[in-house]
Amino acid sequence: MQRWSKLFIPTLREAPADAEVASHKFLIRAGYVRQLAAGIYSYLFMAQRTILKITGIVREEMDTIGQELYLPALNPREVWEASGRWSVMGDNMFRLKDRKGADLCLGMTHEEIMTDIARKELRSYKQLPQIWYQIQTKFRDEPRPKSGLLRVRQFTMKDSYSFDLTREGLDKSFDLHDAAYRRIFKRCGLEFVAVEADSGSMGGSQSQEFMVYTDAGEDLVASCGKCGYAANLEKATSQLAVEADQPATASGAREKILTPGTKTIDDVAAFLKVPVNNNMKSLAYVMTDEVKGQPFYRPLLVLMRGNDQMNEAKLGGAIGGREFRPMQEEEIVKYFGSPAGYLGPVGLPQVTLAEEKGKAAYAGDDKAFVVLMDKALDGRKNLVGGANVAEHHFVGLNRGVDFDVTTVADLRNVVEGEGCPKCGAPLKLGKTVEIGHIFKLGTKYSESMGATVLDENGKERVIIMGSYGIGVERILTSCIEQNHDDNGFWLAPSIAPFTVVVVPTVMKDAAIVEAAEKIAAELEAAGYDVLLDDRDERPGVKFKDADLVGIPYRVNIGKLLAEGKVEVVERAGSKKTEVAMAGVLEHVRALYNPRA
RNA sequence: CGGGGCGUAGCGCAGCCUGGUAGCGCACCUGCCUUGGGCGCAGGGGGUCGCAGGUUCGAAUCCUGUCGCCCCGACCA
């Protein structure tokens, strides 16, 4: 049992002005955390207690499928060079030098270190499969830390890695994680969805994210209430309504039209009286490419329907993970010979598509464009597009006649209400926070770093890996986002810093204090984490604090004691019940039994 | 990286425009009072006005630089 009067729980009546989201405000107000710098927080007593409970649950579940390790956060450059990520990670990686001038970094994730152990130690297929996990601090120099503990530069991650000989083995390791993650999040009291996701810069094939719906989220998830389909916007697709094409021009060929002052798609559509989606908008980018090891910038043109939004993750995937950025004004003039607003694919020099080690390669000089077309434009006729001449657009554009494309790909963002790709029911879009991510890495790291074993035929085989993460603090923040009101928040008893707070309303009343002590001791003995609010404060202060700090159950001992009763309050829903002294334990146990 | 905002007591803010040596509420300390939803009264402690430089007799206030923090954007050409 802990006594509030002895603890450091610095609650605040007001939240700092710069706190925006609920979890940030309440973590500060409830005395859980204090900020040290942008995206760097100190966890005080209450936060640390719940973090320990969360990691306790994570550890219990992970121990059923793997083994816990603990790896260095301070990493030498060499390990990250071995995988190629020393340069890929860019400014997101914290870097430093030791006294000898050698480069070090702070780990953002631990594929490299785990793979390094595997390549040095694993020799035989008989040692596989392995699942190794750790709970470690991760460091990421986020370009923009925000929303309290939601996007930070230092945080706790449970990360695990699986090592298998076969694809089937990887599938099994993946499924084990999927099941363990569901158990973990459920035990933490979270509502979550598992969604198809983009595997991003980590590389890999199948990828699944665990998301929590909250307005504080940064990711959009498209989901179908009918069949259960759910996917990150970076991956989501939909069934689109068929749209009517424009009739061909009178001549049957494309025609160049003067369209003065029409710099946006909407302007053009209105001017020509053509539906926006019969317009083809041209987005200009430059991408990094290389020929024979020589890197250079290559122009990239993306063709989309007028109303559609391009998704950068999808674009990145469509160009094989090459880096890209929007073209700047001077570059537009240089590559297109036209000012922005009138760009189109007609007459541009274009690359040819080659195949290199199973990866798409582009052949052509540095003036040659890669032209990508969104799938929604596939088969469309007589489109409107820029003429690469100021104040002019073409009508009657047709692929194969007026222009060619390098690749057709799904590049657009799904819009709410479009048909589910599986069952056709309308899709919903919701903001979410990512709390976990599991994916099949394949051989990306084991191959580049040389992690191999001998199989039963004595043949060298590259280990097949998976990588799996959980953001520990995000479990806490998500719980608060999902369970709060104006007065504070409540956590699931499994992760709350205390399960019950016992509140004697008047400390000068010996009978009340005695009864409170008795009840607190009784609950403690029954396995509850009990906080006794023995502060000499007015009842109102104690009640306000109790509501604020996330404890799911409260027992008030006060004026009802004259009748031999106390009051049990369930924080979620604020349900109050009068209970006889002797029945308190039984009543609370019916709400939650820590030993069940 | 682009744009915007803010740095004055632990928290929330005023003062700055129009320079004259810093204030309010909450919190904190002492005493009295009160005791079921942040009670009341009295007294008290606490601030390099983010930092550096400049202008001035004099700078929280004006100027320059710098650091920090927050928000928006970094797809619709």
Give the pLDDT score at A503: 97
Q: Does domain A15-69+107-222+428-481 have CATH number 3.30.930.10?
A: yes
Location of each CATH 3.90.960.10 domain in chain A: 255-409
Helices (H), A188-303: 265-272
Q: Please state whether strand B lies within 7 Å of residue A15 at its CB atom.
A: yes
pLDDT at residue number A338? 85
Cα–Cα separations (whole angstroms), residue A51 to A43, A100, A158 = 9, 37, 12
Q: Taking residues A54-76, what's their average pLDDT?
A: 97
Torsion sign (Cα): A562, A563, A569, A575: negative
Confidence of residue A288 (pLDDT cuts 50, 70, 90): confident
pLDDT at residue number A486: 92
CATH 3.30.930.10 domain range(s) in chain A: 15-69+107-222+428-481
pLDDT value at position A367? 87
Q: How far is Cα A333 from Cα A338, in angstroms, rounded to an integer? A: 5
What was the pLDDT predicted at A20? 87
Give the largest CA-CA distance in chain A. Answer: 100
**Distance separating alpha carbons of residues A440 and A506, to the nearest angstrom:** 59
- The secondary structure of residue A357, as a DSSP letter, is T
**C-alpha dihedral over A214, A59, A52, A37, to 10 degrees?**
-60
The count of residues in chain A is 596
Lowest mean pLDDT among A337-341, A507-511, A544-548: A337-341
- ipTM metric: 0.90
Pick the closest to residue A432 from A232, A256, A156, A208 (CA basis).
A232
> Which amino acid is it at A450?
G
With beta carbons less than 8 A apart as the criterion, state whether A464 and A169 touch: yes
Amino acid A18: pLDDT: 84
What does the alpha-carbon distance between residue A503 and residue A307 come to, in Å, rounded to a whole number?
59
Residues of A (517-546) placing their beta carbon closer than 7 angstroms to any atom of strand B are 538-541, 543-546
Please tell me the distance from the alpha carbon of residue A367 to that of residue A523, in angstroms, as a whole number.
75
- C1’ B37 / CA A31, Å: 20
* Omega cis (within 30) before A552: no
Which of helix, strand or coil describes residue A312?
A: helix
Note the pTM of the prediction, 2 decimals.
0.88
Considering only CA atoms, name the residue closest to the C1' of nucleotide B38. Answer: A541
Mean pLDDT across A246-252: 91
**How far is residue A355's CA from residue A360's CA, in Å, rounded to a whole number?**
5
DSSP class of A388: S
Q: How much is the pLDDT for A266?
A: 85
Q: Please tell me whether any atom of strand B lies within 7 Å of the Cβ of A285.
A: yes
What Å value separates CA A385 and C1' B77? Answer: 12
Q: Which of A134-143, A197-206, A509-518 is predicted with the least confidence, judged by mean pLDDT?
A: A197-206
CB atoms within 10 A of CB A14: 9
Determine contact, residues A324/A310, Cβ cutoff 8 Å: no
**Residue A370 contacts residue A411 (beta carbons within 8 Å):** no
**Residue A35 CA to nucleotide B41 C1', Å?**
37
Q: Which of A59, A145, A79 is nearest to A451 (CA)?
A: A79
Residue A176 has pLDDT above 90, yes or no: yes
**Pairing status of strand A427-442 against strand A464-471:** antiparallel
Mean pLDDT over the full length of chain A = 91
Closest CA to A208 of A191, A196, A219: A196
Q: What string of H, E and C letters represents the secondary structure of A194-256?
A: EEECCCHHHCCCCEEEEEEECCCCCEEEEEECCCCCEEECCCCCCECCCCCCCCCCCCCCCEE
Q: Is A482 (CB) below 7 Å from strand B? A: no
pLDDT of A340: 81
* Dihedral angle over CA of A135, A137, A140, A144, nearest 10: 100
Q: Which of A323-332, A373-382, A539-548 has the lowest mean pLDDT?
A: A323-332
* Neighbouring C-beta atoms of residue A38, cutoff 10 Å: 11
Burial grade of A76 (CB within 10 A; 0-12, 13-18, 19 or more): middle
Bases of strand B lying below 7 A from some protein CB: 1, 5, 11-13, 25-27, 34-39, 68-77
Letter for the amino acid at A121?
E
Q: Is the pLDDT of residue A290 over 80?
A: no
Phi, psi for A157 (deg, rounded to 5): -130, 140
CATH of A498-591, one of 1.10.3720.10, 3.40.50.800, 3.10.20.90, 3.40.50.2000: 3.40.50.800
CATH topology of domain A255-409: YbaK protein (3.90.960)
* Residue in the block written with tokens 């007026």: A402
User: What is the distance between the terminal CA atoms of chain A, rounded to a whole angstrom?
Assistant: 20
User: H or E element: which one contains A289?
Assistant: strand A280-291
A318-367 tens-digit pLDDT: 887 787 888 877 788 888 888 888 889 999 999 888 765 555 688 888 88
- Whether A483 CB is under 7 Å from strand B: no
Mean pLDDT for the stretch of residues A46-63: 97
Give the relative orientation of helices A584-591 and A510-525 as an angle to the nearest 10 degrees.
Answer: 50
> Is A217 near strand B, with its CB below 7 A from some atom of it?
no
Is there contact between A415 and strand B, defined as CB under 7 Å from any strand atom?
A: no
What is the tens place of the pLDDT at every residue in A571-580? 999 999 999 9
Which pLDDT belongs to residue A200?
54
Give the pLDDT confidence score for residue A15 in this predicted structure: 87
- Nearest residue to nucleotide B71, by CA–C1' distance, is A18
CA of A578: nearest nucleotide by C1' is B36
Under the banding of pLDDT at 50, 70 and 90, the label for residue A204 is low
Q: Is the CB of A8 under 7 A from strand B?
A: no
Q: What is the pLDDT of residue A135?
A: 97
Specify the 3-state DSSP secondary structure of A365.
Answer: coil
Q: Is the pLDDT of residue A254 over 90?
A: yes
For residue A6, with 0-12 CB atoms within 10 Å meaning exposed, 13-18 middle and 19 or more buried, which class applies? exposed
pLDDT computed for residue A289 by the predictor = 82
The DSSP H or E segment spanning A541 is helix A539-548
Lowest-pLDDT range of A132-136, A201-205, A263-267, A569-573: A201-205
DSSP A252: S
